[in-house]
Amino acid sequence: MNAADALTVIFCLAGAVFFLAGTVGLLRFPDIFSRLHALTKADNLGLGLIVIGLIFQSDSLAAILKLLLIWILALAAGSNACYAIGRFALARSPQDAVREDDP
Amino acid sequence: MTAPVESYQIYAVTAGILFSMGLAGLFLCGHFFKKIIATKILGTAVFLLFISLAKRDFVEFADPVPHAMVITGIVVAVSAGAFALALARRIWNETGRSTFEDSQ
Amino acid sequence: MNGELTTLFPALTVITPITGAVVVFLLPARLRARAGLPAAGFTVAAAILLAWGVVTEGAVRHELGGWGAPLGIDLHADGLSSVFVLMTAAIGLLVSFYAKPFFALAGEKGGASELFWPLWLFLWASLNGLFLSSDLFNLYVTIEVMGLAAVALAVLSGRPPALVAGLRYLLAALGGSMAYLMGVALVYGEVSTLDLGLVSEAVEGSPAIRVAFGLMIAGLLVKTAVFPLHFWLPAAHSSAQAPVSAILSALVVKASFYLILRLWVDVFDVAVTVAAGQALGVLGSAAVIWGSYQALRQRRLKLMVAHSTVGQIGYMFLLFPLITIGYREAADAPWLAHAWTGGIYQALAHGFAKASMFLAVGVFVLAVGNDDRRSIGDLVARLPMTTFALALAGISLIGLPPSGGFVAKWMLLKATFSSGQWWWAPVILTGSFLTAGYVFMVLRQAFAPAGKPIELNPVPRTMEVTALLLGATAILIGLRAEEVLILLDVGAPFDEAVEAGEGGEP
Amino acid sequence: MNPLEHALDTLLCLLLLVLAWKALRAEHLYQSAIFFIAFGLGMALAWVRLAAPDVALAEAAIGAGLLGVLLLDSLRVFSRPPNGSGKARQNTDPGDAETATATTSRHPGARATRLLATAAAAGLAAVLVTAIVRIGDGGGLTEEAAGQLEGSGVEHPVTAVLLNFRGYDTWLEVGVLFLAMLGIYCAGGWVGLTGGREPDSPGPLLSWLIRGLTPLLILTAAYLLWLGKEAPGGAFQAGVLIGAAGILLRLAGYPLTAHLSPGMVKLGLTLGFGTFLVFGIAALIPGGAFLEYPEYWAGEIILLVETAAAISIGFTVFAFFAYLSSRDGSPSEEHNSKPSTTNSD
């Protein structure tokens, strides 16, 4: 195993940890806003780390750029989805948004 | 079976189970919406069987004929699903019915 | 005749109506009916060309895209497919003539009825495509085209009962076609080809093939509405508008019947068992009794005619036990050809009779305003032509000589006795009695003097004439059986078809 | 075959089964839809594992993407009371549109039916699985396809099958899309795309994103279309991206349909199917078969047909959404000139 492979493993594992944390947050946090917080933050960072990990495995500049593009698009989509869900939740029932107990 | 399990077989068996699940769902689910979802699962099961069997013949590339058939099938299934949704929505809006239960 | 030219005919029978559908759709709504009729005419011409080519030169094959099986898709026309293409053409043309004034009247009421012509031509193309296709997967695609077009037509009126019935129809059709496709996946996995001819050479009675065959037949039984899988049919067929009901009942259910027949006899004959044949026979018998009995009970005419379809479809399935017992043991058993021709004749005769009946009932509904059986009193004096059409269609459904229905039922009866499977005979006779019951009940109402004179809406003459012509054809094909049988004999699996036809002449 | 991959495949399959089960058994329609979309994404992974990138693209774009949008949009309709002449009992509790389970259990014998059907399904599954594991080695048509690839005009085998060897199927399939739109018109009781309710603006941030993304989507569509010649991609995937661009623009509040004349709608719906048909018929003139492309021109013809098909597919997919989302499948909301029909037939 060379250095590039080692780095890939480290970064991808780190990314996986973030995904895991985000998923745990989604399942365990009490209300919609903190769930969104856990999910989007963790996923964006997790995906970023995995992309960095994969960059060490790619053999051309085009592939690297594609990977980065994927990350940027996912970032934009994720943050916007978070925004849209939050906005909808707030508009629908402000008090529920603060406190919501059932699933 | 003395031969070791090939990975395509895992998917092929899954396809068989999914198919029965979809069929049961089509009969048992009440709401139109779920019935439509059941038909989609049914279709996906069939496509999965096609593709997993195509993997078996992998030489340079997997058998392209099932791949093309499945792409065709996906489009056909989605079109039919969209039509079914349109009907279900109209029925709901016009009569407030969401199941076949009380129909004669 | 030029052989190269003949190979074009199968493709033409599909291309012509579909081109018509696109052109008609692109035209403004008011011109559609005017363009629809010529398109129907061209389609009929293509069908006649095809039949002529098959009679003069034998079975015809068209290799789409020039590739040929197994990689490409072939269209294959033999006697059986040409007979169904011709039936579709004849019924299709007359229904088209009926539809023009019908939708001119209905058009004022709104709805999406301006889409009738593109949808109907598309459906016609898919029927022809199904009768001619020689490729298992392409058959799936044509079945789906047919199903979507049929459901779209069924909900054309936009009324809630039609919508509910249409959704049920669509979901049943989707379930059925997916079961069929699952079978195709298994077959392809086993023999690596999709062409019907190549598949029939390659298949053996392995478990996968048997399961595949079972799935395909089960899926198609749903689409053919064989008891107890007919649950979707009565509502869907009776809530559609008259020309659509006629198309659905006379043609669309026949397409999946044709495919069952094709797979049973030509493709998977090694997977067929005597028990499977008997099982289909039992389902058919149950359908004959149940459908006819239900028809007898209906107060609404359209529901009665729709239930009658369930019963009449049952008769067609009596063909399977009769051809299955002797087919493998003694391929030259004399009753095989009788059963074969009888079953197909039943499909033809029912097609004409049922189209005529739905169109006639459509005329009544238009004239009286509803389809209650009791409100048609004294119509024999007011609408004699339509009442006569209904009577002719009824005679064929019952199976009285000299109708097409008589030839069909007579041949089936002969086959039951000569094959020793006498237990189907009571079913055939009971079905006829029940059918006579509901037909005469309607006729009695039509002849009964009305309690008080009712105001009738005017009905365009064309509509009455087309219903009568269809009814007359249902009788005529009984008198002129040889012509049909010459065509049917091309590439037939049972040699004595022609001879048997002559034997069945009244 | 390495055991880690085996474990991965097994895990994925189990996940798929669980997701499908959940989608069918979830209490709320909303959960059902989400599980189904997750199922679709899981399937995309399965396609990749089975060396079917074309199918993965199609499934992600059409199966999970488009259908997901339509399903979610339909939830909006089902979760509020019907607006029509609904004399029927109204289910006013939003988010609890799924009443079927309750209705079913009220029937005597419904439980027995349910048990019977479940047993039958289990039996069917057993039969299917037995048949599937006994399927032999096959062989497929891989070799035939590879042998004829030369003359097909393209280098990617799946595209060769779709657009040339089995072009007839693909042509009919484009026809199915067209037909489905006609069906939706029939269900809606009215023809056209203009009119109806325009969507609310989704807020500045999303509008901004959508505006930025649209050119990228179109570009990607063109890229996929071009790529289809030699690699996974092609008309369907490209078409759905075009459609997605339209759907997003509409969601961002662009009045896309306001300027569409009926003629343009008709043209958009039939362009792909019609182009296919024209080239198919043209092939008959020099004595060929229907859809038989001359070898020399095959590549160009296929690209042309695919372009037309992609535009048409994109338009139709957009039309599905635009038609449904703007009028909730009910004609009573607009077009008073064409009232809900009361045909007595």
Please indicate if any CB of chain C lies within 8 Å of the CB of D223: no
Which residue does chain A place closest to D208, by CA atoms?
A: A80
Cross-chain residue pair A83–D205, CB shorter than 8 Å: yes
Count how many residues are written for chain B: 104
Per-residue pLDDT band for D206 (boundaries 50, 70, 90) equals: confident
Torsion sign, CA atoms C233, C234, C235, C237: positive
Q: What are the φ/ψ torsions at residue C61 (nearest 5 degrees)?
A: -125, 135
Q: Are C264 and C272 in contact (CB under 8 A)?
A: yes
Q: What are the φ/ψ torsions at residue C77 (nearest 5 degrees)?
A: -115, 120
Q: Give the C-alpha separation, C354 to C346, whole Å.
A: 11
Q: What are the φ/ψ torsions at residue C209 (nearest 5 degrees)?
A: -65, -40
What average pLDDT does this structure show over D320-342?
56
> Domain ranges in chain D?
1-80, 156-334
Task: Dump pLDDT digits (tens) for C201-232.
Answer: 888 888 889 999 999 999 999 999 998 899 99
Q: Give the C-alpha separation, B12 to D91, whole Å.
A: 41
Closest listed residue to residue C35, CA positions, set C24, C26, C43: C24
The tokens describing C160, both together, are 């809630």
The tokens describing D186, both together, are 């029939």
Q: What are the φ/ψ torsions at residue C64 (nearest 5 degrees)?
A: -65, 135
Closest listed residue to residue D78, CA positions, set B32, A65, C89, B2: B32
Task: Dump pLDDT digits (tens) for C88-121.
Answer: 999 999 999 999 999 888 765 556 778 899 999 9
Helix (H, G, I), strand (E, B) or coil at A102: coil
Please give the ipTM for the structure prediction.
0.91
**Cross-strand bridge partners of residue C135:** C195
Cross-chain residue pair C188–B53, CB shorter than 8 Å: yes
Q: The whole model's pTM is what?
A: 0.92
Q: Give the C-alpha separation, B74 to D66, whole Å.
A: 11
Distances, alpha carbon B4 to alpha carbons B9, B10, D6, D9, D51, in Å: 10, 11, 11, 15, 20
Q: Are D239 and D144 in contact (CB under 8 A)?
A: no
Which residue does chain C place closest to B42, by CA atoms?
A: C178
pLDDT for the residue C393: 96
> Domain ranges in chain B?
7-95
Q: Nearest Cβ partner of B53 from C148, C168, C185?
A: C185
- Measured between beta carbons, the chain B residues lying within 8 angstroms of C160 are 91, 94-95
The tokens describing C322, both together, are 């009769």
CA distance D154 to chain C (A): 15
**Chain B: touching chains (3 or more CB pairs < 8 Å):** C, D
Kind plus residue range of the DSSP H or E element containing A76: helix A61-92
Kind plus residue range of the DSSP H or E element containing C77: strand C73-77
Cross-chain residue pair C71–D280, CB shorter than 8 Å: no
The alpha carbon torsion through C265, C267, C268, C270 (nearest 10 deg) reads 80
Q: Nearest Cβ partner of A84 from D202, D212, D213?
A: D202
Task: Dump pLDDT digits (tens) for D227-281.
Answer: 888 888 888 889 988 998 988 888 877 777 777 888 888 999 999 999 999 999 9
CA distance C54 to chain B (A): 31
Torsion sign, CA atoms D169, D170, D173, D174: negative
> Domain ranges in chain A?
3-98
Per-residue exposure over A52-84, b if at least 16 CB sit within 10 Å of its own CB, e if not: bbbbbeeeeeeeeeebeeebeeebeebebebbb
**C491: alpha, beta or left? (left if phi > 0; alpha if psi -120 to 50):** left
Closest listed residue to residue D220, CA positions, set A69, A79, A77, B75: A69
Interface list for D 166-225 with A (CB within 8 A): 202-203, 205-206, 209, 212-213
- Measured between beta carbons, the chain B residues lying within 8 angstroms of D24 are 21-22, 24-25, 29, 34, 37-38, 41
Task: Dump pLDDT digits (tens) for C305-328.
Answer: 999 999 999 999 999 998 886 444
pLDDT for the residue D100: 41
Number of C-beta neighbours around residue D106 at 10 A: 8
Q: Are D279 and D293 in contact (CB under 8 A)?
A: yes
> Domain ranges in chain C?
3-503
Q: Nearest Cβ partner of D183 from C25, C142, C152?
A: C152
Q: Give the C-alpha separation, C106 to C100, whole Å.
A: 10
Closest listed residue to residue C491, CA positions, set C200, C158, C173: C200
Q: Which residue has the tokens 């296929």?
A: D302
Q: How far apart are the first and last CA of chain D?
A: 64
Q: Give the C-alpha separation, C132 to B68, whole Å.
A: 22
Task: Dump pLDDT digits (tens) for D147-180.
Answer: 888 888 888 889 999 999 999 999 999 999 999 9
Q: Nearest Cβ partner of D187 from C19, C163, C365?
A: C163
* Greatest C-alpha distance within chain A: 55
D touches A, CB cut-off 8 Å, minimum 3 pairs = yes
Cross-chain residue pair D5–B70, CB shorter than 8 Å: no
Cross-chain residue pair A83–D203, CB shorter than 8 Å: yes
Task: Dump pLDDT digits (tens) for A16-69.
Answer: 999 999 889 888 888 888 888 888 878 888 999 999 999 998 888 999 999 999
DSSP code at position D99? -
Cross-chain residue pair B39–C188, CB shorter than 8 Å: no
Q: Give the C-alpha separation, D36 to D19, whole Å.
A: 7
Q: Give the C-alpha separation, D302 to C485, whole Å.
A: 44
DSSP code at position C265? I
pLDDT for the residue B1: 41
pLDDT for the residue C447: 85
- Measured between beta carbons, the chain C residues lying within 8 angstroms of B80 are 144, 147-148, 170, 174
Please indicate if any CB of chain C lies within 8 Å of the CB of D173: yes
Strands C60-64 and C73-77 come out as antiparallel
**Cross-strand bridge partners of residue C60:** C77
C touches A, CB cut-off 8 Å, minimum 3 pairs = no
What average pLDDT does this structure show over C445-468?
84
Kind plus residue range of the DSSP H or E element containing C178: helix C160-191
Q: Give the C-alpha separation, C421 to C415, whole Å.
A: 8
The tokens describing C16, both together, are 């012509």
CATH number for the region B7-95 comes to 1.10.287.3510
DSSP E strands in D195-337: the ranges are none
